[in-house]
Amino acid sequence: MLQFFSKFKKFFIVLGILSVIILYLMYNALKPEKRLPVYQPNMVNPELVDSTLLDVKKYHTIADFSLVNQNGKTITQKDYKGKIYVADFFFTTCPTICPIMTKNMAAIQDKIGEEVMLLSHSVTPQIDSVAQLKKYALEKGVDDSKWNLVTGDKKQIYALARKSYLAVKNDGDGGPYDMIHTENFILVDKERRIRGFYDGTNPKEIDKLLGDIEILKSSYLKD
């Protein structure tokens, strides 16, 4: 018996290696591919969604926009064409969650490549002028090539927040376009669809967001 195994030793070694390779390939072929959901308004907390969209179940995308960034440049959806991006809502004088969100967004900025961008919308555009945004950007280490802080018409920002990004609460006591922003970071794909919501104050959620960005980037390589 020992002579038999000795005689065919190389054969069994090669057979063992081939078996491992085949099992590995079968595992990868059968392993479910990680894909991110495509969020629709009916899947989101109703408090964050405009009442006209509560029953929308498909085809939701981010609307066209035209806003002004920290450098006085007009920013539109064309600046984000073919890009994955992360959006949020903030204001420069916010003393509570905004500093944490901005710090975490800056950390994301340092870990993303050229195919990913950031977009932060002011919910107090009457206060956050271009000069104010520029001051804030310099203080927080914003890279102008990756990250736009934008201000503009409050009605447009309100509509984007509640009808596109599904990310802020309506403040019924402050006027028709007043809003209470949340800690949400929103992941948007190249087709302008929402692919994830994340707590911008939670380090674990930031790690999840970075992981989901990689999943989303990989999905385009496979397509």
Alpha-carbon distance 105 to 88, whole Å?
9
Q: Which of 76, 55, 47 is nearest to 162 (CA)?
A: 47
Place of tokens 């949020």: 88
Please indicate if the annotation marks 132 as binding a ligand: no
* Distances, alpha carbon 74 to alpha carbons 108, 198, 209, in Å: 24, 27, 28
Q: Which of 83, 138, 67 is nearest to 106 (CA)?
A: 138
Please indicate if the annotation marks 88 as binding a ligand: no
Dihedral class, residue 157 (left if φ above 0, else alpha if ψ from -120 to 50, else beta): alpha
Q: Please list the residues that pair with 198 across neighbouring strands.
A: 185
Please indicate if the annotation marks 94 as binding a ligand: yes
**Cβ–Cβ < 8 Å for 115, 84:** yes
**Nearest 5°: phi and psi at 133?**
-65, -40
153, 183, 210, 58 alpha-carbon torsion, rounded to 10°: -70
Alpha-carbon distance 87 to 147, whole Å?
10
Alpha-carbon distance 148 to 142, whole Å?
8
Binding residues are 94, 98, 181
Binding residues for Cu cation are 94, 98, 181
